Every structure is written in structure tokens, then in C-alpha cells.
């Protein structure tokens, strides 16, 4: 997605530790015009799927998922990050290793909002090592739901997540894939 590549080059910042900061337009301040283009692009890619729900994870996935959902006319469910202490039988839960915070947390979804009839499109902002996605797939499968596709805004192709998730046989499409980036000179190379 050319528009997104240009925006990342203009406003993205490469940080140490393989972190790409895009908080001025994607996951802190949000450019809704750009989100609409992202939503349209996901509709173009996944419009053939017969989905009835979008699943994401708080917090950064929610805005993107909601705008995308308008193009599919389906509800959005987001996994909540929870304290283990609050986990009860009314929820599906999974453990996720956070890439940005480097610690594990539980993610939960109420059993009321995921079920065996659901055909799900998962949406998230970033794909790095794939832990967040593996957790979302686990939550969907715990409910007996099927994951029809996964849409990612920015995949860091030099990290292991893409390979791991694609090897699970799930259809995963990323709007941009970063092949390399350098915190020293700020350069970013996209996969063509």
C-alpha cells in the first residue's frame, strides 16, 4: 500500500530494539483519513471472505478494526488484557508475550462474544514475533470459531511472526512489509 509506505517514510521513527514508532498517525494520534484507506484496502483483500466478526486486541488494534468493520458491516470484538486473578469460566483466555513491553500477560474474550458459528477476520496494527496473533487465533479456536483471514497493517518481515503464522495455514496479508530498518540512520526498506 503505497500511501502507507510514504506515510511511514515521512512520519515513522526507527528506534533501537527493532521498534518502529508510528504514534503520530497509527497508534496514539490516529489519522482517520488514512484509517479509511486501510479499511478499504482490507475490504479489497478480504472482501471475498464470508466473515461475520472482526477480532482484535486492545489497545492499538481497536481503532483500525472499527474503521475496517464499517466496510464489512460486522461487529468488532477486542481481546482485553487482564490480570490472571480476574479470569473466570465466563471467558476464553490465552497468554501472550508482549513484544513492546517484554512481559507476558493474559488476554481474554467473554464467551458471550465468540462462538462456534463465527467466521473471523483478525486485524492488528503490527506483526513482529507473532505472539499477539497466536493468542488471538488461540482465543478464536477455543470458541470453535474459524479464522478466515488475518489483516496486518505493518509486518516486520525480518522478525519471525509472519513465517510462524503462515505456517499455521492461515491466510495472512500485510498492507506493508518492512524488510529492514536501521535505528542509526533511520532508513526503512519495504518489500516490493
Binding site for ligand 5GP (CB under 6 A): 19-22, 27, 60, 99-100, 124-132, 161
Residue with Cβ nearer ligand 5GP (41 or 155): 155
Kindly give the interhelix angle for 32-46 and 2-11, rounded to the nearest 10 degrees. 140
In angstroms, what is the minimal distance from the CB of 43 to ligand 5GP? 21
Q: Would you say 60 or 90 has its CB closer to ligand 5GP?
A: 60
CB of 41 to ligand 5GP, least distance (A): 18
Note whether 25 and 34 are within 8 A (CB).
yes
Cell reading at 29: 494520534
State the nearest-atom distance from the C-beta of 124 to ligand 5GP, in Å.
5
CB of 57 to ligand 5GP, least distance (A): 6
Q: Which is nearer to ligand 5GP, 24 or 52 (CB)?
A: 24
Of the two residues 21 and 111, which places its CB atom closer to ligand 5GP in the complex?
21
Beta bridge partners of 14: 20
Q: How far is the CB of 89 from ligand 5GP (least distance, A)?
A: 26
Identity of the residue, 16 or 83, whose beta carbon is nearer to ligand 5GP in the bound complex = 16
The C-alpha atoms of residue 111 and residue 131 are separated, in whole angstroms, by 21
**Max CA pair span of the chain:** 50
Residue 75 neighbours by CB under 8 Å, 6+ apart: 53, 54, 69
Q: Which residues contact 100 (CB under 8 A, 6 or more apart)?
A: 19
Amino acid at each position: 500500500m503505497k500511501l502507507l509506505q510514504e506515510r511511514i517514510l515521512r512520519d515513522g521513527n526507527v528506534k533501537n530494539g527493532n521498534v518502529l514508532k508510528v504514534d503520530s498517525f497509527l497508534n496514539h494520534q490516529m489519522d482517520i483519513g488514512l484509517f479509511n484507506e486501510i479499511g478499504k484496502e482490507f475490504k479489497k483483500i478480504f472482501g471475498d471472505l464470508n466473515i461475520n466478526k472482526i477480532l482484535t486486541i486492545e489497545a492499538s488494534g481497536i481503532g483500525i478494526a472499527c474503521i475496517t468493520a464499517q466496510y464489512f458491516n460486522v461487529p468488532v470484538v477486542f481481546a482485553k488484557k487482564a490480570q490472571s486473578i480476574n479470569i473466570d469460566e465466563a471467558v476464553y483466555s490465552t497468554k501472550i508475550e508482549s513484544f513492546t513491553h517484554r512481559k507476558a500477560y493474559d488476554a481474554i474474550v467473554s464467551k458471550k462474544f465468540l462462538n462456534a458459528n463465527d467466521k473471523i477476520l483478525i486485524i492488528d496494527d503490527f506483526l513482529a514475533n507473532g505472539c499477539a496473533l497466536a493468542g488471538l487465533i488461540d482465543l478464536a479456536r477455543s470458541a470453535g470459531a474459524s479464522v478466515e483471514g488475518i489483516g496486518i497493517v505493518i509486518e516486520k518481515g525480518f522478525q519471525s511472526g509472519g513465517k510462524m503464522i503462515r505456517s499455521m495455514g492461515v491466510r495472512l496479508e500485510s498492507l506493508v512489509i518492512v524488510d529492514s530498518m536501521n535505528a542509526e540512520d533511520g532508513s526503512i526498506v519495504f518489500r516490493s
